[in-house]
Amino acid sequence: MKKIIYTLTIAMAMNLTSCNNVEKKQDVTETETLISDEQQDFLGITNKEYLSAASKRALKWPTDLGNEWFFEYQVFDLKGDLAYEEGVVRRDPSALIKEDGKYYVWYSRSTGPSQGFGGDVVKDKVFPWDRCDIWYATSEDGITWKEEGLAVARGEAGAYDDRSVFTVEIMKHEDTYYLCYQTVKNPYSVRVKNQVGLAWSKSPNGPWTKSEEPILSPADNGIWKGEKQDRFAVEKKGDFDSHKVHDPCIIPYKGKFYLYYKGEQMGEAITFGGRQIRHGVAIADNPKGPYVKSPYNPISNSGHEICVWPYNGGIAALITTDGPEKNTVQWSPDGINFDIKGVVKGAPHAIGLDRTADNEKEPTEILRWGLTHEYKNSDYQYIRGFKTWRMKKHTAKGVGEE
């Protein structure tokens, strides 16, 4: 019996060796046809005949990409009414538009500290973005801001937006201004399913007319497990947006209106990329809807706040914070199918883009300056400015420019 086993072992080893030799020859043949001397030199590959998984991936990278999608950034304090104010939350700035010589921005505003979910979720304030209304401010230079007051308030008791309206985005189309934003209905429990609302006006100063019903809601195909308020206990997770639809942004595109949004899934998991967050899009023929979710959703594997802009006939997106593709800049030729174009060190949170920028100058021109928010502590956030620059080369300290 031992002799038979030994014979079989030798035979198996010979077969494996033969297979390995075949695979090696195939690899050699493949690399000889796929890798040039220039590629080998640029990628620093030691030997064309021995390619690691990393080298094989590198050989598949597009060859027409330079550093035009790469940037670095810094944030700075603003002056005037958007400077930090104790006891007041100002966060999630919208994009910036310019009307009559002034920049306009809209944002979430609330007052007082947050109590979390440990108390009375009917009466308490559970998050900084809870019990918010939408306010707006103006500036002549983008640095010193004047708070103009309330733009869109929470709805009356019983309405779909009676608890909070927040995380707003602005769109101007023809002669009308549109604000889309998140809404929450009371009580704000951990299983609450927030929605997206819309308001419109003929002037950036209002008055604003609100939609009677939400324009976007979470998918209704997940199943909670039990009655306890536990957002991670599910029998069925459902679609990527079965729990929440967040961070809406409407872009006029190819004669239609693309509503990009962040989806949170019931029973959201922590994976190798972090939180299980993805983006989706819903499309309408009219700014007021109805919006129909794309059958291709989700359109990203990662992300957090929506940051999208038109570029080169398609749509560009900054993907940050969560997921295996976080901290990347992506682009889609059709607004749905996105590819990674650049990897960045990080980016400002909750970016308010400068919609007055020349989008076609270069891919990230619209990111050269804008607004962001920053946490002073867990209760209070404030709005700051940011600027970015395209990094073209790197030098050692003390080395002068040639």
Taking only the tens place, the pLDDT of each residue in 66-78 is: 889 999 999 999 9
Quick one: how far is CA 181 from the chain centroid?
A: 15
Can you give the residue ranges of every domain in the chain?
2-59, 72-389
Q: How far is CA 307 from CA 198, 238, 323, 355, in A?
A: 18, 25, 16, 12
The CATH class of the 72-389 domain is: mainly beta
Report whether 138 contacts 104 (CB < 8 A). yes
How far is 84 from 376, CA to CA, in rounded Å?
8
Helix ranges (H only) for 74-208 are: none
Q: Which residue carries 């640029």 as its tokens?
A: 42
DSSP string, 252-319: EETTEEEEEEEEE-TTPPEETTEE-EEEEEEEESSTT---EE-TT----SS-SS--EEEETTEEEEEE
Q: Which residues is 245 bridged to in the sheet?
A: 263
Report whether 263 contacts 244 (CB < 8 A). yes
Report whether 121 contacts 372 (CB < 8 A). no
- In sequence order, which residues have a C-beta less than 8 Å from that of residue 125 and are 6 or more positions away? 110, 112, 113, 114, 115, 131
DSSP structure class, residue 67: S
Q: Using CB atoms within 10 A of its CB, is residue 177 exposed (0-12), middle (13-18) or buried (19+)?
A: buried
144-152 and 79-80 beta bridge pairing: parallel
DSSP string, 192-261: ---EEEEEEESSTT---EEPSS-SB---S--EE-SSSS-TT-EEE--STTSSEEEEEEEEEETTEEEEEE
How far is 381 from 377, CA to CA, in rounded Å?
7
Q: How far is CA 256 from CA 17, 213, 250, in A?
A: 59, 21, 10
From first to last of the 402 residues of the chain, give the pLDDT tens digit. 433 333 333 333 334 334 444 344 444 444 444 789 999 998 999 999 999 999 999 998 887 778 899 999 999 999 999 999 999 999 999 999 999 999 999 999 999 999 999 899 999 999 999 999 999 999 999 999 999 999 999 999 999 999 999 999 999 999 999 999 999 999 999 999 999 999 999 999 999 999 999 999 999 999 999 999 999 999 999 999 999 999 999 999 999 999 999 999 999 999 999 999 999 999 999 999 999 999 999 999 999 999 999 999 999 999 999 999 999 999 999 999 999 999 999 999 999 999 999 999 999 999 999 999 999 999 999 999 999 999 877 778 887 654
Report whether 235 contacts 242 (CB < 8 A). no
Q: Which residues is 383 bridged to in the sheet?
A: 373
Structure tokens at 128: 């900084």
Q: How big is the chain by its Cα radius of gyration, in Å?
A: 26
